[in-house]
Structure 1
Amino acid sequence: MNILITGAGRGLGVELAAEALKRGHGVIAGVRYPDQEQTALSQLAAAYGTKLTVAALDVTNEEGIAELAASLKGQGRTLGAIINNAAILTARNTPVEELDLKDMLTTMDINLYGPMRVVKHFLPLLTEPDRSIINISSEAGSITNAYPGDYPYAISKTALNMFSQQLHVYLQERGVQVLSVHPGWMHTDMGGEEAPTNPRSSAEGIISLIEQRRAPEGHFRFVDYTGKDMKI
């Protein structure tokens, strides 16, 4: 299986790439600036050779996304899974009275419109058996457990969950698995040092969701990295 991963240069993204490669999958690792030093990906390239392709992919640049999709199609490349992982977290602990709406616009552009752009242009390449689209969401996007804070991030993830649900309805007859996945509170640059979850453990769970295709028990396509249903 070939797996496209956005935001693959660090954190969960690079762990997803490492775990997928370890299991024998091909990986197209999308990063904004592939010409800059990508130490972790360089190490994976040395270990796995042509199984890893590092590609320029800025989820806010639709023209660039379309060019990459066309290039891969021209090479005869196909996909078995798309993992929309690229995201930002801004305006942490900022009261709504002090919220800069520029943070809201930027966050939606990356966390919601980014996955929509990627799916728009790469869906035609998703032709391998047992196909999946995985949108990396967050428990912060749960309406049931809403809290007053992280407004841009939380709202963007709620909207991403809606996009996943719509994609599921649209693609279920084609046999495409669509999930929004809460990866856990991870020890990454975004999650911080106090986070309890090892990102590699989360990556292992997410790749297993792609391979095992275990459907959620409930109606909604929102689960954690172990496959347990999350509250919408």
Structure 2
Amino acid sequence: MNILITGAGRGLGVELVAEALERGHGVIAGVRHPEQEQPELAKLAAAYGDKLTVARLDVTDEEGIAALAAELKAQERTLGAIINNAAVLTARNTPVEVLDLQDMLTTMDINLYGPIRVVKHFLPLLTETKPSIINISSEAGSISNAYPGDYPYSISKTAMNMFSQQLHVYLQDRGVHVLSVHPGWMHTDMGGEEAPTDPRQSAGGIITLIEQRKDPKGVFRFVDYTGKDMKI
């Protein structure tokens, strides 16, 4: 299986790359600035050779996304899974009275419109047997567990869950497996040092969800990295 992973240069993204490669999959690792030093990806490239392709992929740049998709198509590359992982967390603990709406615009552009752009242009390449689209969401996007704060991030992830639900309805007759996945509170730059979850553990669970095509027990396509249903 070939897996496209966005935001692959660090955190959960690079752990997803490592886990997928270790399991024998090919990976197209999307990063915004491949010309910059990518030490972790460089180590993986040295270990796995042409199983790993590091590609320029800025989820806010639709022209660049379209160009990469066209390049892969010209190379007759196919995909078995897309993992929309790239995201930002802005305006932490900022009251709505002082919220900078630019943070909302930036966050929605990356966290929501980014995955939409990626699916728009890479869906035609998703032709391998039993394909999947995994949108990395968050428990922060649960309406049932809403809390006052992190407005840009939470709202973007709630909208991501809706996008996943719409994709599921649209693509189920084609056999495309679609999930929004809460990866856990992870020990990454975004999650912070107090976070209890090892991102490699989360990455392993997410790749297993793809390989085993685990479906939620309920009607909503929102689960954690172990496959347990999350509250919408």
The TM tier, using the shorter chain, reads: over 0.9
Pair 1:53-2:53 in alignment: yes
Q: How does 1:147-226 map to 2 (within 5 A)?
A: 147-226=147-226
Aligned residue number for residue 100 of structure 1? 100
TM-score, normalization: structure 1? 1.00
Gaps of 5+ in 1: none
Residue 214 of structure 1 and its aligned partner are, at CA, apart by: 1.4
Q: Partner of 1:75 in structure 2? A: 75
- Show the counterpart of 1:124: 124
Q: Matched residue pairs, number?
A: 232
In structure 1, what is the Cα distance between the partners aligned to 2:213 and 2:70?
28
Quote the Cα distance in structure 1 between the aligned partners of 2:35 and 2:90: 26
Q: TM-score, normalised by structure 2?
A: 1.00
Q: Report deviation, 1:218.
A: 0.2
The 1-side partners of 2:171 and 2:104 are apart by 29
Per-residue deviation, residues 159-202 of structure 1 (Å, max 9, x unmatched) = 00000000000000000000000000000000000000000000
Give the whole-Å Cα distance in 2 for the aligned partners of 1:201 and 1:214: 17
Query: How far apart in 2 are the matches of 1:225 and 1:178?
Result: 14
| Cα deviations by residue, 1:92-113 (Å, 9 ceiling, x for unpaired) | 0000001000000000000000
- Counterpart-to-counterpart distance in 2, 1:220 and 1:194: 30
Q: Which residue number in structure 1 is paired with residue 113 of structure 2?
A: 113
Letter in 2 for 1:180: S
Aligned to 2:27: 27
Q: Detail structure 1 runs of 4+ shifted over 6 Å in the superposition.
A: none
Q: Which residue of 2 aligns with 1:137?
A: 137
Q: Counterpart in 1 of 2:12?
A: 12
Q: AA paired with 1:101?
A: L
Q: Deviations over 1:37-61 (max 9, x none)?
A: 0000000000000000000000000
**Which ranges in structure 2 are unaligned for 5 or more consecutive residues?**
none
Question: Aligned partners of 1:152, 1:214: CA distance in 2, in Å?
Answer: 29
Identity of aligned residues (%): 85
Cα distance in 1 between the residues matched to 2:196 and 2:129: 35
Aligned-residue CA RMSD (Å): 0.2
